[in-house]
């Protein structure tokens, strides 16, 4: 609740899912067809920023197709030793550091831009 929640809830949301048929959280739209083409259409039509939260497989697919303009990561001072990698083994994604902001608790907020050009998977940006 509050101002932030009200603003966030009012924003349009686009959902990539192969299993959902209905969306309860509105305003929301279920993306249709192939994900890269759907996101290309959103980028062309809306002209604003698109933020992705919470889906590793969607992030990887959008990165593979050169549809990500910025990668924002939080680096925590600790090692887990397991889990799913953001970047699949064997794939190369050249990144340029845009900013790094350290916090007093040791966390560092990092922002990268994929480098324009080609990678192992094809055209970028």
In a domain, 26, yes or no: no
In a domain, 41, yes or no: no
Mean pLDDT for the chain overall: 86
What pTM was estimated for this model as a whole?
0.76
Rounded to whole angstroms, the Cα distance separating 44 from 91 reads: 27
Question: What is the per-residue pLDDT for 117?
Answer: 67
Condensed to tens digits (0 to 9), the pLDDT of residues 24-43 reads 888 889 998 999 999 999 98
Rounded to whole angstroms, the Cα distance separating 14 from 118 reads: 28
In a domain, 66, yes or no: yes
- Residue 102 belongs to a domain with what CATH number? 3.40.430.10
In a domain, 101, yes or no: yes
Cα dihedral across residues 44, 47, 49, 51: positive or negative? negative
Closest among 115, 111, 64, 119 to 92, alpha carbons compared: 119
Condensed to tens digits (0 to 9), the pLDDT of residues 62-102 reads 988 999 999 999 999 987 888 888 877 888 889 999 999 99
Work out how many domains the chain is built from and give that number. 1
| Higher-scoring residue by pLDDT: 19, 88 | 19
Residues with Cβ within 8 Å of residue 123, at least 6 apart in sequence:
66
Q: How many CB atoms neighbour CB 3 within 10 A?
A: 7
In a domain, 17, yes or no: no
Condensed to tens digits (0 to 9), the pLDDT of residues 47-59 reads 778 888 878 889 9
In a domain, 116, yes or no: yes
Q: Strands 28-30, 95-102: parallel, antiparallel or unpaired by DSSP?
A: unpaired
State which residues form the domain around 106: 52-124
Quote the tokens at residue 46.
Answer: 């809306």
């Amino acid at each position: 609740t509050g101002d932030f929640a009200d603003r966030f809830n009012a924003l349009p949301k686009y959902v990539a899912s192969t299993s959902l048929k209905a969306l309860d959280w509105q305003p929301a739209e279920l993306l249709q067809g192939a994900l890269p083409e759907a996101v290309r259409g959103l980028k062309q039509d809306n002209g604003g920023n698109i933020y992705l939260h919470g889906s590793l497989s969607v992030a990887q697919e959008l990165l593979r197709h050169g549809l990500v303009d910025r990668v924002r990561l939080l680096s925590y001072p600790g090692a887990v030793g397991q889990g799913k990698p953001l970047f699949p083994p064997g794939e190369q994604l050249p990144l340029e550091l845009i900013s790094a902001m350290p916090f007093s608790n040791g966390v560092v907020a990092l922002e990268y831009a994929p480098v324009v050009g080609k990678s192992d998977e094809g055209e970028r940006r």
